[in-house]
Amino acid sequence: GIDWPDPLKEMQRNWIGKSVGALVRFGLNSGKVIEVFTTRVDTIYGTTFLVLAPEHEYVDIITTNDYKNEVNSYVIEAKNRSERERMAEVKNITGVFTGAYAIHPFSGKHIPIWIGDYVLAGYGTGAVMAVPAHDLRDYAFAKHFKLPIEEVVSGGDISNESYDAKEGKLINSDFLNGLDVKAAIKKA
């Protein structure tokens, strides 16, 4: 839908690449939803928390009174760092809990919503469905903050690191159990 010359659009497509995935909506008690784009919808049952970019439009709306001061301080600190600094700094894990919970669209469980500077507002929707068992950054965040890690793709050893490979059979995933990753992505 961008009004650019076709050769320029084609250059962008080739440079950026195409991401095939799903837009997943996590409900809030207010009736609003947090939208997350994922290329790994097969791991939906492994989502144990959400992480919003500090600049996400819902940060002020969802943060409970008990966490306002801590969240506000964190947001100010994160805004003073460039996106490049935030993406490069992978060893220094930072984040803060908002006090809010989202409703998992498949299981109905309430999952905590965090703010983390490894999520960027300008990338995707500015929100991540954290699947720590199968994503390196989510794994580090979960370990640091002692958040649950739920294995949903067999084949790895998640006791020491995430299993990010796109191969294995789905487990702990309701109607996706027993499917290989490609079949599970399609079915989910």
Task: Give me the chain's average pLDDT, please.
Answer: 91
The per-residue pLDDT for range 65-89, each reduced to its tens digit, is 999 999 999 999 988 877 677 666 6
- Please give the pLDDT value at position 15: 65
The per-residue pLDDT for range 111-148, each reduced to its tens digit, is 999 999 989 887 889 999 999 999 999 999 999 999 99
Is residue 50 within 8 A of residue 111, CB to CB? The reply is yes
Give pTM, 2 decimals: 0.87
Looking up tokens 């809010």 gives: 100
**Closest among 129, 132, 116 to 56, alpha carbons compared:** 116
CA-to-CA distance for 100 and 75, rounded, in angstroms? 16
- Please give the pLDDT value at position 16: 63
